[in-house]
A and B are shown apart, each in its own frame.
Chain A
Amino acid sequence: EVQLVQSGAEVKKPGESLKVSCKGSGYDFTDYWIGWVRQMPGKGLEWMGIIYPGDSDTRYRPSFQGQVTISADKSINTAYLQWSSLKASDTAIYYCARPEYNSHTFFYWGQGTSVTVS
């Protein structure tokens, strides 16, 4: 069974750094893309970026380029989303998600990580 398990909720101050994780299991981690999706409070879904753990090929939505870093450690089947300096506007739920056969249709989702910056 494919599972994506994300790290727990975080409460941070503006300017702090943060790295949230997404651990995949039940499949070959290096064979599938993993993406990140933001959902700000009361708002819709926004695609942030995606990584292919097999070769670390990474793509970002332009508005997130330079604001976050997506990475993966295939030795422990884990993808990451990180910030070097958080802003209040980063407050949101962040989901990792995995496509099945392409890079953009998300069949499997993590449970979400709530990030509060205040």
Chain B
Amino acid sequence: QSALTQPASVSGSPGQSITISCTGTSSDVGGYDFVSWYQQHPGKVPRLMIYDVSNRPSGVSNRFSGSKSGNTASLTISGLQAEDEADYYCSSYTLSSTPVFGTGTRVTVL
């Protein structure tokens, strides 16, 4: 059960849009519409930002959106703001009936 693959870092200027990829296999990302994304600021608790590929929990800004194509899921942050600077982790349900997290992506706002 290997971790899903994410880029180590992504950066953008305020107001820009960035996209973080999350690549798995047909046994996880490609096989289920159960991809989630979590935001974690340094020293803080993870926070759910997207679930079931593209749904936002109550209270999450609509600047965050999710999608999936084949074995790769994506998180897009539009109108990038300083407060978006954090680590982001994807997660997917797997054939083993358990979830697996991604390797994590550090988002830097330039």
Contacts and interface: CB of A to CB of B under 8 A. Distances in A.
A99 B21 CA distance: 23
22 contacts: A37-B46, A44-B101, A44-B102, A45-B89, A45-B101, A47-B91, A47-B99, A50-B98, A59-B97, A61-B98, A62-B1, A63-B1, A95-B45, A95-B46, A102-B34, A104-B34, A105-B34, A105-B48, A106-B48, A107-B51, A110-B45, A111-B45
Interface residues of B, number: 25
Contacts of A109: 45-47
Interface of B: 1, 3, 34, 36, 38, 40, 45-48, 51-52, 57, 87, 89, 91, 93, 97-104
Nearest to A110: B45
A76 B87 CA distance: 34
B1 A61 contact: yes
Nearest to A63: B1
Interface in A101-118: 102-107, 109-112
Interface of A: 37, 44-47, 50, 59, 61-63, 95, 97, 102-107, 109-112
Contacts of A37: 46, 101
Contacts of A62: 1
Contacts, number: 60
Interface on chain B toward A: helix, strand, loop, or mixed SS?
strand
Contacts of B51: 105, 107
B102 to A, nearest CB: 7
Given A97-B46, A105-B34, A107-B48, 4 more contacts: A44-B87, A45-B38, A105-B36, A109-B47
B97 to A, nearest CB: 7
A47 B34 CA distance: 15
Nearest to A43: B104
